[in-house]
């Protein structure tokens, strides 16, 4: 029995220190795609020390299961036809026939003479996932708290589209908003963009592309100018410098399973898709998915360029809480986060 004990102990240690991380590494890369580069040997690469970083990242993601209750609450709310009085569901827009949901502010009938401003919320999902229905509770609460109409659109995520297609979709949504203000009774000339994670990056890009009148948007120049003038502010919590974030992914050993570099069509395009327009920045100090330095460096860059920027660092808030806690007023950080958003909206709208 003593011999068996001494033999089983190394086996257990080997399984825990090598077998488990190796299995996690293989499973993660199998699900999210193997690296597309010459000479990559997937089974031997997975044995390198970096597998421990990837295993840690996967295990860290498990804690986000605590937001499952909010997810299912949102799904039930979205499917309940009694809630349709609060929003318009599944409105088609744009060249790809994407859908958006439009949420009304409280007492929508009182805005006959002065229509409410518009918030366009762009969700994240690492450029490879996400859908508008998940954020129904957030959009509903945002409409109430900001006393504004809120639009939450879908866009083509990877692999259906690359980052340029995503930016085009958001551009199409903004054009739709400009053309639909009278029909849905919101102020088409008073728009604020709010984005989280990859959605923050896309908001930054569309603002930059519109201000530069980029041809690759395939939107008429006159329409681009109209949309640019209508955007009063941008409130973000996410990624801005793509190469900087790629280096952060490498430290966590998740760059191969991340869809970011794939959606950007390769590392060579990172500089092109790293925008520097003026924004209001929010970031949680406990964010390990997108480090707080992403926003602090971006803020410093804007300041060095004499571009006005506001930076709000929210203590103990993580990557999911900064968006999930906007979905319900009983969440811990609901009021602190909305206080920051309201303050910036008052600057551009004069009320909130």
CA angle at residue 48 from 265 to 319, to 5 degrees? 55
Listed in sequence order, the residues at least 6 apart from 44 whose beta carbon sits closer than 8 Å to its beta carbon are: none
Burial state string for 257-284 with b = 16 or more CB within 10 A and e = fewer than 16? bbbbbbbbeeeebbeebbbebebbbbbb
Average pLDDT of span 291-315:
84
Helix (H, G, I), strand (E, B) or coil at 193: strand
pLDDT by residue (tens digit) across 164-210? 999 999 999 999 999 999 999 999 999 999 999 999 999 989 998 99
pLDDT by residue (tens digit) across 315-341? 999 999 999 999 999 999 999 999 999
In the prediction, which pLDDT does 104 show? Answer: 95
pLDDT by residue (tens digit) across 235-292? 878 777 778 888 888 888 778 778 888 888 888 888 777 654 556 889 999 999 999 9
Q: Which of 62-71, 141-150, 260-269, 301-310 has the highest average model confidence (pLDDT)?
A: 141-150
User: Over 60: is that where the pLDDT of 1 sits?
Assistant: no
Q: How far is 89 from 101, CA to CA, in rounded Å?
A: 5
In the prediction, which pLDDT does 18 show? Answer: 64
% of the chain beyond a pLDDT of 70:
86
Comparing 58-67, 82-91, 131-140, 284-293, which segment has the lowest mean pLDDT? Answer: 58-67
In the prediction, which pLDDT does 276 show? Answer: 46
In the prediction, which pLDDT does 42 show? Answer: 63
Using pLDDT thresholds of 50, 70 and 90, give the confidence band for residue 350. Answer: confident
Q: How far is 252 from 58, CA to CA, in rounded Å?
A: 10
In the prediction, which pLDDT does 6 show? Answer: 52
69-349 classified as CATH 3.30.70.20:
no
Q: How far is 214 from 221, CA to CA, in rounded Å?
A: 9
Q: How far is 192 from 197, CA to CA, in rounded Å?
A: 17
Comparing 91-105, 205-219, 338-352, which segment has the lowest mean pLDDT? Answer: 338-352
Distance of CA 48 to the CA centre of its chain: 31
User: Over 70: is that where the pLDDT of 67 sits?
Assistant: yes
Q: Which residue has the higher pLDDT, 14 or 122?
A: 122
Nearest to 172 by CA among 84, 241, 83, 99: 99
Using pLDDT thresholds of 50, 70 and 90, give the confidence band for residue 299. Answer: confident
- The verdict on pTM exceeding 0.85 is no
In the prediction, which pLDDT does 217 show? Answer: 95
Residues 240, 294: contact at Cβ < 8 Å? yes
Nearest to 32 by CA among 275, 249, 339: 249
User: Over 70: is that where the pLDDT of 306 sits?
Assistant: no
Residues 287, 319: contact at Cβ < 8 Å? yes
Task: Provide the β-strand partners of residue 150.
Answer: 103, 119
pLDDT by residue (tens digit) across 6-55? 557 666 665 566 677 777 777 777 766 666 666 666 667 666 777 777 77
What are the extents of the domains in the chain?
Answer: 2-62, 69-349
Burial state string for 209-231 with b = 16 or more CB within 10 A and e = fewer than 16? bbbeebeebebeeebbebbbebb
């Amino acid at each position: 029995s003593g011999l068996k004990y001494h033999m089983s102990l190394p086996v257990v240690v080997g399984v825990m220190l090598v077998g488990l991380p190796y299995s996690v590494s293989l499973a993660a890369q199998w699900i999210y795609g193997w690296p597309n580069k010459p000479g990559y040997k997937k089974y031997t690469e997975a044995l390198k020390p970096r597998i421990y970083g990837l295993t840690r990242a996967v295990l860290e993601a498990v804690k986000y299961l605590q937001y499952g209750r909010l997810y299912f609450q949102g799904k039930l709310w979205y499917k309940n036809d009694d809630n349709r009085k609060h929003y318009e569901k599944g409105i088609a827009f744009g060249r790809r026939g994407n859908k958006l949901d439009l949420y009304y502010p409280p007492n929508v009938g009182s805005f006959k003479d002065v229509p409410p401003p518009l918030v366009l919320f762009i969700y994240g999902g690492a450029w490879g996932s996400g859908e508008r229905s998940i954020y129904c509770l957030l959009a509903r609460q945002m409409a109430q708290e900001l006393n504004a109409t809120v639009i939450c659109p879908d866009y083509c995520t990877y692999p259906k589209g690359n980052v340029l297609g995503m930016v085009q979709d958001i551009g199409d949504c903004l054009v739709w908003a400009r053309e639909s203000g009278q029909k849905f009774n919101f102020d088409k000339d008073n728009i604020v963009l709010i984005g989280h994670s990859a959605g923050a990056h896309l908001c930054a890009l569309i603002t930059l592309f519109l201000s530069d009148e980029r041809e690759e948007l395939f939107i008429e120049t006159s329409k681009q100018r109209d949309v640019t003038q209508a955007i009063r502010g941008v409130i973000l919590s996410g990624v801005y410098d793509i190469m900087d974030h790629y280096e952060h992914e490498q430290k966590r050993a998740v760059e191969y399973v991340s869809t970011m570099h794939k959606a950007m069509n390769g590392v060579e395009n990172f500089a092109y898709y790293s925008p520097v327009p003026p924004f209001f920045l929010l970031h949680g100090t406990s964010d390990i998915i997108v480090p707080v330095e992403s926003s602090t460096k971006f803020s410093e860059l804007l300041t060095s360029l004499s571009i006005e920027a506001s930076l709000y660092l929210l203590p103990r808030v993580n990557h999911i809480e900064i968006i999930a806690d906007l979905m319900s007023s009983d969440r811990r950080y609901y009021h602190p986060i909305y206080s920051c958003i309201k303050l910036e909206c008052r600057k551009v709208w004069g009320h909130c």
